[in-house]
Every structure is written in C-alpha cells, then in structure tokens.
Amino acid sequence: MLSILGFIWMLIVGLIVLGFIAGSAMFLIWMERKVSAHIQSRFGPMRVGWHGVLQSIADAVKLLLKEDIRPAGVDKLVWWLAPFVVVVPSVMVFVVIPFGKSLIVKDLNVGILYIMAVSSVGVIGIFMAGWGSNNKYSLLGGMRSAAQIISYEIPLVLSMIVVAMQASSLSMQKIVAAQSGHWYILHPNLTLAFVVYLISATAEVNRTPFDIPEAESELVSGFHTEYSGMKFAMFFIGEYTNVFIISAIATTLFWGGWNGPILPPVVWFLIKTYGIVFILMWARWTFPRVRVDQLMGFAWKALTPISLVNLAITGWLLLR
Amino acid sequence: MAIIKMINCAKNLIVGVWSLIKGLVVTLKYFFRPTVTLQYPTEKQPMNDRFRGLVGLHPEKCIVCYQCVKICPTACLAITNKQEDKKKTLETFKYNMELCCFCGFCQQVCPTGAITMTNIYEISVFDRKKFDINLLNVGKYDEWTHTLVK
Amino acid sequence: MDTTQTKDIYTEEFLINMGPQHPSTHGVLCLELKLDGEFVKECTPHIGYLHRSMEKIAENRTYTQFIPYTDRLDYVASMNNNLGYVMAVEKMLNLEVSQRAQYIRVIVAELNRIASHLIAVGTFAQDLGAFATPLFYCFREREKILDIFDQICGNRLTYNYMRIGGVQFDFPKGIDEKIKDFVKYMRPKVDDYDQLLTYNTIFLSRSKHIGVLPKELAISYSVTGPNLRASGVKWDLRKDEPYLVYDKFEFDIPVGKNGDSWDRYKIRIEEIRQSLRIVEQAIGALPEGDPTVKVGRIHKPSSSGIYFRTENPRGELGFYIVGDGSVCPYRLKIRSPSFSNLAVIPELVKGLKIADLVCVLGSFDILMGEIDR
C-alpha cells in the first residue's frame, strides 16, 4: 500500500516538476534579457505584458510557427536526433533535485553519481549537432565543445566529491539535512570547492566566458547554425534548463538547500537558486571570452590540481 | 626555485581574480542606475531648429535664381519657370527625395530663405513613385508631419 | 604512436571564406583563409564591395559640391574627413581662415576623434567576446557627442560642416556649457573602461603578445595612426607638422612599447584622454569673430598638384588634388589610412588561430568606407 502511495506521489511531483521546467525556462529567458538590459543601461522587453513578461511566450509561439528548414546535405538521423540528446539529459537531472522537505521526485541514494552520469550524455548531442550539419563552422563548434566539456568534467566531479565526503553520503536529501545548522559554504575548503564548481559548471553549459561553441563573432553561430524553428528552441531551452540545474545543484551542495528560517522551504530554495543564476548572468555580461587553448590550459593546469589538493585537505580535515 | 615559481603563480592568480572582481563591480554599478534609452515610437526626441530633414519651400519668397539647382551635388532639384514681362515666376519645382543627400547646401545658398530644411526624418515609403515630390504642393508632407514631436 | 605511422596520416588544408557578411569583419571585407586545423596559414583580403567611385565622381563636381562626398569616406569620423579636404583646397587657393573658425574646427575634430575611438574600443571588446556591455557603454557616451553635433550642424553622422574658408554655422548659444559638461562627464567614464576591460585578466590573456607589429615592418608598409604609435614610433601629424592651431595646445602623444593588440587598444584609450584635454583648452580660449563663409562662391584653382595630410583617428588621411583652372578638379586622389593598415594584416596573422585573427583585425580598427571609397 505504502509503495503504491509512494509511486503516486512520485508521479505527482514528476508532473509538477515538468510543468516547472517549462515555466522556469521561459522565466529564465525573460530574466536574462532584463538583467542584461539593465546592466547595459537600457530597458529590455517592455511591450508584451507588464515590462515584457509575456515576451518569452510570444517568442515560443513564433518559433513554433516557423518553417522547419532541413538543409540538403545533412546526415538525416544524426541531425534530427541531436536536439533531443541535448535536452533529455537536462530534464532527467530534475529527478533528484530537492525542492523542499519532501518535494523531490525520487531521492536516489546515489544522487550525485546519477547527476554526473546523466549530464555527461549531453555532450554527445552537441557533437551530433556539429557533425550532422554538414557545415565547416558547425563542425568546428561541435569539436571545440566536446573538448571543452570533457576537460571541465574532472574539476566539476572532484568538487562535488568533496561535498559528498563532508556529508558522508551521495543522496541529495541527506546532504541538505547535514547542513541544517551550518551551511557548507562557511567551511573554507568547501568555499574553494564552490568556486571551482561554479567555474567548471559555467564551462560545462557553454556560457561566457566559456561560450566558444557558440562564439558568435568567429563562427557565426557554432554548432546550432543549421537549426531553425522548434529545434533551435530546444537547444535554447536546454541551455537555460542547464543554467537552472547547475544553480540548483550549487544551492543543494553548498548553500544549504531548502534550509532557512521562517519562510517555507520551497521559497528559500528558489531564492537561493535564482541568486546564483543572477551571479552567472552578471558574469556573462561582464567578461570577454576565453580562447580555446587557454581554456584547456586553465582546466588541466589550474583547476584540476587545485581540486585534487582540496580533496586531500578535506580528507585530512575529516580524519583528524 | 620551485617555491618562488609557486609564489609567482599564486600572486598572478590573486591579481587576476581581483581584476575580474573589479570589472564585476562596474557592471553592478550600472545595473542599479537608471536607463538612458527612449521607448520609440511612443517617446520621441524633438529635433532642433538646425536639423536637416526633408526639403521644404516657401514659394512666395522664391526669386527663381537657380542657385539651389546649381549647387546640389546630386542634382535632385529641378525648376521650370514662366517668364512674365521681366519677372520670373515658378511653374514647377520638382524634388527627388531618393537622390537627396541632406547636405543643406540649398538652404545655405538661397538668398531669400525660400528653400528650407524641415524637421521630417521618418521618411520610409512603400512605393517608389512617392519619392518624386512636387514642392509647390502645400500638403505634400501631411502623412509625415503628424508623427513629429514639437 | 610511433613516427612511421604519423607519416601516413593524410591532412588537408581547409579553405574558408570569412566572407563579406560576417559579424566581426568591420564592414564588407572578405578574407580568404587557408587553415590548417585551427591555425591560419595564409590570409588574402578581397576588397571592393563598397566601391562607389568617389574619385571619379570628383572630376565632375565643383570643389564645394564634393564636400558631402568626403563625409561618406570614413563615416564614423566625418568632421576629420571634411577638414582634410577643405584644408587641401585652401592650401591650393592660399585662403586665410579666421581664428574662430580654426578653434571651432579643432574642437569638432577632437570630439569626433573621441567618438571614433569609442567605436573602435567598443567593437574590439565585442569581437573578443565581451558580448555587448562595453559596446553599449561606448555608444551611450557617443550619443552625447552626437547630440552636441546635432545642435551645431543639424546632422548626426554625415555632418558636411566645413566649408572652403570656414565652417557652415557658428556655434549656437549654450553649446559651450554643453561641451564643458560633456568633458566633465566623460573623464570618469574612461576610468570605468579601464576598470572594466583594460586590466581584466581574460582580456589581457586574449590580446597581449598577439599580432605584434615590429617597428620596421610598420614603417615599410606605411602604417599610420595609433597602430604606428603602438609599435613605438612617436609620429603624430598634430605635433610634427602642426596644422590649424594645434601648436597652441598642450597635449601628450601616447606611445606603446610592444606593438601588440593590447597596446593598440590602450593607445586609443589614452588618446581619448588627450583629446578631452585639447577640447577643454580650446573651448576655454575660443576667440570672437564670424567663422562662416558664403557657399555660392566659385573656386577655380589651377595647380600642378598639391598633397595635404591630416591626422584622422585611423591614421594619416591625405588628399592629392590637381586643378586645371576649371570649376572641377582634374584629379582627386584620396590616401586613406585604413588601406595601408589593412595591407600589413596578412603578414601578422600567419600562424595565429582564428580567434587571434579576429582580435588583430579588431585592434587595427579599419573601416571599409575608406578602403573602397
């Protein structure tokens, strides 16, 4: 009986989360446009709805109505499948994100391992997009992206392992519960892990200063040059969903998850997540882009040694 | 030797991170300041007196001296005149808006101030025939003047 | 992998057209690149997409009628183009220009230099990936300059302000205050750009030691302007061959050390500061008088050919005019700075990556309107 109730609860929360993903992607697109506009002393979307809130819906409708152009020389299956392979892993990660005390689709006891495994599949989608487009620019974009994502997985994973060591568990809810008195950001070795995590996660989702795969001024549009209409919209939604995911994981691992006084846990979780999203957007509109070889050099020669040293220090502190 | 290299590396890292933080401070400063843009077309900036928009004419002041026609670099003005006794009067005054480069020479050379430059700048049309304007027609710019802000 | 295997791997060179429509070639420039993976082996520029046969048109226009055409050469720094042409004709005719007109010319030319350098800085940052923020800040400052010009002469981009012997209008009432306010407003903004971009570690690593232009190469290709000064040559026509009243003002000429892209960018920022100094001194010392001239006067110079050069924001703009006693010139040749600056770029980009090519192209600040005429 209990297992059937648990199963039904899982379905209900799953549906709520799916609805949340769609709404959140639209809200994030609006937020990005408004944040970037006010940084640049201008207004941003103002016409559709109050201060442009309905602009994302208007854009979604426009993209739905657009003609789906398939260029002649593309590799049909690979090109058609690429947007799905990019978006589906992002949505799958939402299974283990703890929105509240029991607002989680399924609290897997290998939560962090599941996240790392599933998010690594996304890079295949980008590479498929680059290869299948039969276009020199897209191919360059796809290859660069694959190299970038693979290099930055190692510091990302190492910083997440530090948190798992501190909490002695891989399950997301247990990590949040372990921070109920004392958020992890207050430990100095975990602050370093947070900084490394933030930099690697920005590189993982291809955002400036690491957005070489979409480097507009060099490769026109990189790996999604040949996509139009709804397929392009899927890449776009996938990017913003990824931004939300890495902020949500950062909140859970380092900033105490849904812990907080007075307000309900869901509200705290959303406040913290959108705060980190704001920091990511703020950094995007300030910094120039890092070059490909400098990016690789930074990952292998700076971030990886720092995270390994951090791992050793955390182990020593825990065993003491 | 290795320790000196490590210290240099750490110093470079700290200087680099500090420069990034300073850049972030500048951007945040402008995030909280008011915006400087106007919401066109509901908010428009009025043009000043010297603005060089489309060419306009006061036909009663014109003495048909042909100075404006001679000085126009792109030859967009064309005049024909009637000779009555010893006085010349205007018959037609054609203005090709497509060729006009808005240089202001005609206004500067006119001895009586008959030809002027108006404030009209929103001048896109759907039909090429609308580019040929007869300057003697009083209502020639009616579809555009109502959009101007004083 | 042992060495015998590497000899059997077949690699090919990639021919790519960084075509006329591309977000970061400034205008319609076509660069034919031979790539080996990410590295550029050879770069051939193809120009002529914006050719409007200005020099031929000049043979059928009077000297006054040609002034609006000079606006459209380097459309971002119109005042300086007008100035170069008008002073060349005045040299042919040996005309005297009133003192007030000369001070007014210096003020508008320096303000236009600031506006042009703002575009150079903004688009350079955009090419490097700081996607829109420095560009919007630079355009916000440029709007103030364009508003001032709008009140002086009635137009925001193609001013047609200079006349042979003077200027079109006198300054309107109240413009002195506006210019002084602008100088006060602009100084902290230039410090903002320094803080946001110049010493940013990502920006430094993208532009330092990229596209180093040695002194001898620069001089042999007749590179001029901030690009030459960044390579260490202290040559500025405002100090070395002073025209107008530049010898009455105090300003420094910034000179770079390495000749890389960062130096070229930094020189432009410093030149904005020096131009602000000149404008402040000139507006304080503006003499009385009437700077306007009648525009209907017909000039018929006859000479075997004079060459006059001025310091454009992009380099040395020269006009070579041959008159034959009629109202139209016999031959008008325009020496544009961007043409010579572009010629040296294929030498510099051999062996660089595409990202660096974009950086070098942006730091040279070329404009296709000048190159193709």
Residue pair A227/A129 in contact by the 8 Å Cβ criterion: yes
Mean pLDDT of A31-44: 88
Residue A308 has pLDDT above 60, yes or no: yes
A222 pLDDT band, cuts 50/70/90, is: low
For residue C356, which residues of chain A lie inside 8 Å, CB to CB? Answer: 291
For residue A34, which residues of chain B lie inside 8 Å, CB to CB? Answer: none
pLDDT at C3: 37
Mean pLDDT of A235-239: 84
DSSP A96-140: G---SSS--S---TTHHHHHHHHHTTHHHHHHHHHHHTT-HHHHH
Residue C151 — φ and ψ, nearest 5°? -75, -25
Residue pair A144/A212 in contact by the 8 Å Cβ criterion: yes
Q: Classify residue A291 by its DSSP letter.
A: P
Residue pair C47/C55 in contact by the 8 Å Cβ criterion: no
| A183 and chain C in contact, CB less than 8 A | no
Residue A15 has pLDDT above 60, yes or no: yes
Mean pLDDT of A127-143: 78
pLDDT at C7: 53
Residue of C125, C354, C356 lying closest to A288 (CB–CB) = C125
Tens-digit pLDDT profile for residues C90-118: 988 888 888 899 999 999 999 999 999 99
pLDDT at A218: 53
For residue A46, what is the nearest residue in chain B, using CA coordinates? B39
Residue A66 in 3-state DSSP?
Answer: coil
List the Cα angle A116/A119/A122 in 5-degree steps.
150
Residue A215 — φ and ψ, nearest 5°? -60, 100
Contact yes or no for B105 and C295 at CB 8 A = yes
pLDDT at C113: 93
Mean pLDDT of C128-138: 85
CB neighbours (10 Å) of residue B85? 5
Mean pLDDT of A233-248: 87
How much is the CA Rg of chain B, to the nearest whole Å? Answer: 29
Domain boundaries, chain A: 2-319
Q: Which of C331, C320, C306 is nearest to C95 (CA)?
A: C306
Residue whose tokens read 């640049």: A40
In CATH, what number does B55-145 get? 3.30.70.3270
Residue C295 — φ and ψ, nearest 5°? -90, -10
In a domain, C261, yes or no: yes
DSSP A253-271: HHS-TT--SSS-HHHHHHH
Residue C90 carries which side chain, given as an amino acid letter?
Answer: E
For residue C37, which residues of chain A lie inside 8 Å, CB to CB? Answer: none
How large a percentage of chain A has pLDDT more than 70? 95
Bridge partners of A147? Answer: none
pLDDT at B31: 87
Rounded CA separation A291/A280 (Å)? 19
| A36 and chain C in contact, CB less than 8 A | yes
Contact yes or no for A285 and C133 at CB 8 A = yes
For residue A41, which residues of chain C lie inside 8 Å, CB to CB? Answer: 136-137, 140
Burial class from Cβ neighbours inside 10 Å (0-12, 13-18, 19+) for residue C185 reads: exposed
How large a percentage of chain A has pLDDT more than 90? 9
pLDDT at C270: 93
In a domain, C90, yes or no: yes
Domain count, chain C: 1
- Alpha carbon distances (Å) from B123 to B41, B93, B147, C29, C154: 14, 20, 11, 30, 17
For residue C192, what is the nearest residue in chain B, using CA coordinates? B26
pLDDT at B126: 86
Tens-digit pLDDT profile for residues C321-366: 998 888 888 999 999 999 999 999 888 888 888 788 888 888 888 8
CB neighbours (10 Å) of residue A194? 21
Rounded CA separation A79/A75 (Å)? 6
Token readout for A312 is: 């050793």
Angle between helices A76-93 and A111-119 (to 10 degrees): 160
Contact yes or no for B108 and C168 at CB 8 A = yes
Smallest CA–CA separation between B38 and chain C, in Å? 12
Bridge partners of C44? Answer: C32
Rounded CA separation A138/A129 (Å)? 8
Rounded CA separation C73/C330 (Å)? 20
Instruction: Name residues whose C-beta falls within 8 Å of residue A131's C-beta, 6 or more positions apart in sequence.
Output: A75, A78, A139, A142
Between residues A209 and C223, which one has the greater pLDDT? C223
Tell me which chains share at least 3 CB pairs under 8 Å with chain B. Answer: A, C
Residue of C131, C133, C358 lying closest to A218 (CB–CB) = C358
In a domain, C1, yes or no: no
Tell me which chains share at least 3 CB pairs under 8 Å with chain A. Answer: B, C
Tens-digit pLDDT profile for residues A51-110: 888 888 888 888 888 887 878 887 788 888 888 888 899 888 888 888 888 778 788 888
Residue B135 in 3-state DSSP?
Answer: coil
Rounded CA separation C186/C188 (Å)? 6
Q: Which of A252, A302, A307 is nearest to A276 (CA)?
A: A252
How large a percentage of chain C has pLDDT more than 70? 96
Contact yes or no for C206 and A208 at CB 8 A = no
The parts of chain B modelled with pLDDT lower than 50 are: none
Instruction: Name residues whose C-beta falls within 8 Å of residue C361's C-beta, 6 or more positions apart in sequence.
Output: C24, C25, C26, C31, C127, C345
Rounded CA separation C137/C24 (Å)? 19
Mean pLDDT of C151-160: 89
Task: Encode chain C in three state secondary structure.
Answer: CCHHHHCCCCCCCEEEEECCCCCCCCCCCEEEEEEECCEEEEEEEECCCCCCCHHHHHCCCCCCCCHHHHHCCCCCCHHHHHHHHHHHHHHHHCCCCCHHHHHHHHHHHHHHHHHHHHHHHHHHHHHCCCCCHHHHHHHHHHHHHHHHHHHHHCCCCCCCCEECCEECCCCCCCHHHHHHHHHHHHHHHHHHHHHHHHCCHHHHHHHCCCCCCCHHHHHHCCCCCHHHHHCCCCCCHHHHCCCCCHHHCCCCCCCCCCCCHHHHHHHHHHHHHHHHHHHHHHHHCCCCCCCECCCCCCCCCEEEEEEEEEEECCEEEEEEEEEECCCCCCEEEEECHHHHHHHCHHHHCCCCEHHHHHHHHHHHCCCHHHHHC
- Alpha carbon distances (Å) from C369 to A247, A253, C54, C334: 47, 55, 11, 12
Rounded CA separation C233/C60 (Å)? 40
**Within its chain, how far is the Cα of A290 from the centroid?**
19
CB neighbours (10 Å) of residue A138? 26
In a domain, C2, yes or no: no
Q: Classify residue B61 by its DSSP letter.
A: G
Rounded CA separation A165/A154 (Å)? 16
Q: Which of A248, A293, A181, B33 is nearest to C37 (CA)?
A: A293
Smallest CA–CA separation between A168 and chain B, in Å? 31
Residue of B20, B30, B39 lying closest to A41 (CB–CB) = B30
Rounded CA separation C82/C103 (Å)? 15
Residue A244 has pLDDT above 80, yes or no: yes
Instruction: Name residues whose C-beta falls within 8 Å of residue C229's C-beta, 6 or more positions apart in sequence.
Output: C235, C236, C253, C254, C255, C256, C267
Residue A213 has pLDDT above 70, yes or no: no
A217 pLDDT band, cuts 50/70/90, is: very low
SS3 content of chain A, % helix, strand, coil (to 5): 75, 0, 25
pTM assigned to the model: 0.88
| Peptide bond connecting A71 to the previous residue in cis, omega within 30 degrees of 0 | no
Residue A59 zone, left/alpha/beta (φ > 0; ψ -120 to 50; rest): alpha
Q: Which of residues 298-337 of C touch B (CB under 8 A)?
A: none
Mutate to test the interface with C, among B108, B110, B117 (most CBs of C within 10 A): B108
Tens-digit pLDDT profile for residues C261-301: 999 999 999 999 999 999 999 988 888 888 888 777 787 87
Mutate to test the interface with A, among B37, B38, B39, B43 (most CBs of A within 10 A): B37
Torsion, CA A12, CA A18, CA A20, CA A26, rounded to 10: -160
Interior/surface letters B58-75, b for 16+ CB within 10 angstroms, e for the rest: eeeebebbebbebbbbbe
In a domain, C3, yes or no: no
Question: What CATH number should be reported for the domain holding residue C39?
Answer: 1.10.645.10
Residue C44 has pLDDT above 50, yes or no: yes
| B17 and chain A in contact, CB less than 8 A | no
| C252 and chain B in contact, CB less than 8 A | no
Contact yes or no for C202 and A216 at CB 8 A = no
Task: List the helix and strand counts (H, then E) for chain A.
Answer: 13, 0
Domain boundaries, chain B: 1-36, 55-145
Instruction: Name residues whose C-beta falls within 8 Å of residue A269's C-beta, 6 or more positions apart in sequence.
Output: A98, A99, A100, A248, A251, A257, A258
Residue A212 in 3-state DSSP?
Answer: helix
Residue whose tokens read 């306007």: C292
**Within its chain, how far is the Cα of C255 from the centroid?**
17
Residue B2 carries which side chain, given as an amino acid letter?
Answer: A
Between residues A319 and C302, which one has the greater pLDDT? A319
Rounded CA separation C342/A191 (Å)? 49
- Positive or negative: CA dihedral A299, A300, A305, A311: positive
Torsion, CA C102, CA C107, CA C109, CA C114, rounded to 10: 170
